[in-house]
Amino acid sequence: MQAGRAEQGAEQTNGALRLRVSGVVQGVGFRPFVHRLAARHALRGWVRNTTGDVEIAVAGEVLELERFVAAIAAEAPPLARVDRVEREPADDADLGPFRIVESDGAGDRGQWVSPDVATCEECEAELFDPENRRHRYPFITCTNCGPRYSVIERMPYDRERTSMRAFAQCPECRREYDGMGDRRYHSETNSCPVCGPRLSFLDRRGAEIVAAGPIESAAAVIRGGGIVAVRGVGGFHLACDATSEHAVARLRRGKHRDGKPLAVMVRGLADARALALVSDDEAEWLRRPSRPIVVLDAREGSPVPASVSGGLSTIGVMLAYTPVHLLLLEAVGRPLVMTSGNHSGEPLAASLSEALCDLAEVADAYLTHDRDIVARIDDSVLRVPRGAAKDAADRAPAILMRRARGFAPLPLSLPVPATTPIVAVGPHLKNTLCLAVGRDAYVSAHVGDLETLDTAEHWQNVYDGMRGLFRIEPAVVARDLHPGYLSTRIAGDLGIAHVLEVQHHHAHVAAVAAEYGITEPVIGIAFDGTGYGDDGHTWGAEILVADLVNYRRAAHLQYAPLPGGDLAARSPWRVALGYASLAPEAREAFAMAWQGVSSAAVRTVERQIDERVNTPVASSMGRLFDAAAAVLGVCRESRFEGEAAIQLESRAARHRADPLPYNAVQQGDGHFEFDPLPLLVALGDRARRGDDVGRLAAAFHESVAEGTAALVGSLAAREGISRVALGGGVFQNARLLTSLTGRLERRGLQVLTARSLPPNDGAVSYGQAVVAAARLAIG
């Protein structure tokens, strides 16, 4: 009797489970973590990757099983993101000592894929340790760092399904790979100088030079004022000495990039502080494994000339994120300009053949390697607005300006599940695409502007790659309303019969609301350059009452002529002339806008406006910023998209000012229209009197913020809505975003801003997918 009770007790104290763990759990050291965890809790069983998640069979004492399950999420590796753990009882028969078993490649479930990750501190220490066998090895990695998305061909994540399969591990690397206690246990990118990828240095014609080491040869070219095309994780950078005016000017000429700011790479945080003022929050973003470019306030007396930043008061800085970068920066001994290896507007060069063709005009030499890049991916860019509330983890939010390396292709959640797989083709400019199924929306990295056949081909390659990687076959395509966009043509060429059209600004608002899981109506403020409106006109300063399915235009900026159409976006003085035509008495106040422009050109544009020749009308906040910049004499011609607004914000920095008149007038049909002319006239008059232009630029920002907040507060009260979603590229402007957010919150409103995606058109594909999924759900 006693023995029977003992056997029954043993049965009750032992058990077995089958677990499925979903999230970012492949390529992040998760299987080695699970193996060590099982050993700690004296459990038997196995762990393996599958096409959709990580599967675990485990048996042992019930108490230890429960502790094991709890620790899976609580103690997961730093790069992992456990979304859910599904469990069911199992038979513990045939479970031997715990081990990692062969992956299961069957099935059609998609799997989250880890982004590429910066070199970790341990690998960096080994890189510069003369006693380590990987001393100065340019491809050192471990389970905690290195390339992921850029080398993965398909899931589950194993070496044979990545571009590392070309490099068989040597016996010593294999011992590390098989050793449970080793940091490189099951590290699929593991290699060393004996067995791994090889770095090489080529002259401008592509001939290899072996007289000195590749790093030393590249550093010598850069120190001599030359430009080197450096092949990194996701493609080529163009690198030069950031302290050399001559080198920077040469790079700009070769890249056809006159004034757009260039990013600077440094080795560590102390080097960043020598170039810029770095807050604790900005430092935290710089050091993250994603290693984005962070836009910082430039430090006076910096060794980097103002020409690198195009004369702005800010500078974009990133820390080195690969061993090649670390070695090159050490060898050069100076900060480096590191800008995308392409001509402006074209896709990033990823292969050596592309670089030799596309970069021949600008590169003096090439520092390259023989590991294939599966997914080309650019650097991410962000800025940290000052004074913004921190998140639940006490981290400062950032305004993403480009979401790419380090962030993509992690999915976002859909508030309304996509019952049918969706592809959202995205917008015309700053394009991304989005694949959605169930609750998951996979937003691509930055694709670029769909204005060339090369970019359209790149879009197709990204689509094909994501479709295969995530095992999604779309049956619905979501696209913009504009009939003439290349994205619209791409949508038609996909051969998918079910097409849903989504208005551009509704997509902006829906994208922000969806980030927060909001399905109820919000007041949406969509401020950007241009988007095709329901009335066939150009929209861009819209206040919508919207949910994820429908919207109503509640207010907008007064329509104004845009002489020359898209040309007006590059010539702010033209936009100012368009506004001046609405009130001839304002023309004198606007005179600084076309100062220096030939009288013949001014008369031609005025005639173009009068006769409505290629002069669409637009309600555009982006163009209002252009007009204000011209009226204040800050920027009359833009060398790149958004320059006038960027210059205006830069001039407003560190200035305080009270708002000037900027009010909305209710129209006969009940909606409101903002009249910006009194504001522009006041700016022009004060500038001509000699008032400080920086203070006037600040007053413009505060006027738009206060006028918008006042109207939205009234609308929210009338509609019974407490949430406001801010979307559109104008909200990359930290001054406007911070001021408007504060004014809305003081009116008792909850403000939703873009966090996981940029506020600009990079979020539109996600917004299109969100709206499409919500509409499909109601039939």
For residue range 251-261, list pLDDT tens digits in order. Answer: 999 998 888 99
Tell me the C-alpha distance between 516 and 524, whole Å. Answer: 14
Hey, what's the torsion of the CAs at 130, 132, 133, 138, to 10 degrees? Answer: -70
Q: Are 92 and 65 in contact (CB under 8 A)?
A: no
pLDDT at 701: 98
First to last CA, the chain: 65
**CA neighbours closer than 13 Å in the CB half-sphere of residue 576:** 35
Q: How do residues 367-406 score in pLDDT, each as one tens digit?
A: 999 999 999 999 999 999 976 666 655 567 899 999 999 9
Phi, psi of 208 (to 5 degrees): -75, 140
Rg from Cα positions in the chain: 28
In whole angstroms, how far apart are CA 319 and each of 282, 329, 517, 653?
12, 10, 33, 25
Q: Are 115 and 149 in contact (CB under 8 A)?
A: yes
What sign results for the dihedral spanned by CA atoms 384, 388, 394, 400? negative
3-class DSSP state of 704: helix
Q: Are 45 and 59 in contact (CB under 8 A)?
A: yes
Q: Are 605 and 574 in contact (CB under 8 A)?
A: yes
Tell me the C-alpha distance between 603 and 220, whole Å. Answer: 54
How many distinct helices (H) and strands (E) make up the chain?
23, 29
Q: Which helix (H) or strand (E) holds 60?
A: strand 54-61
pLDDT at 375: 95
Using N-to-C axis directions, what is the helix angle for 677-688 and 621-631, rounded to 10°? 20
Tell me the C-alpha distance between 151 and 596, whole Å. Answer: 52
Tell me the C-alpha distance between 52 and 726, whole Å. Answer: 34
Q: Are 749 and 724 in contact (CB under 8 A)?
A: yes
3-class DSSP state of 607: helix
Report H helices in 48-147: 62-74, 121-127
Paired with 16 in beta bridges are 59
Parallel, antiparallel, or unpaired for β 81-89 and 14-24?
Answer: antiparallel
Parallel, antiparallel, or unpaired for β 54-61 and 44-49?
Answer: antiparallel
Tell me the C-alpha distance between 289 and 318, whole Å. Answer: 11
Tell me the C-alpha distance between 246 and 62, whole Å. Answer: 69
Q: Are 701 and 709 in contact (CB under 8 A)?
A: no
Tell me the C-alpha distance between 754 and 546, whole Å. Answer: 16
Does the global pTM surpass 0.85?
yes
Q: Are 693 and 648 in contact (CB under 8 A)?
A: no
Tell me the C-alpha distance between 217 and 367, whole Å. Answer: 9
Report H helices in 186-267: 214-223, 245-255
Stretches where the chain sits below pLDDT 50 are 1-10
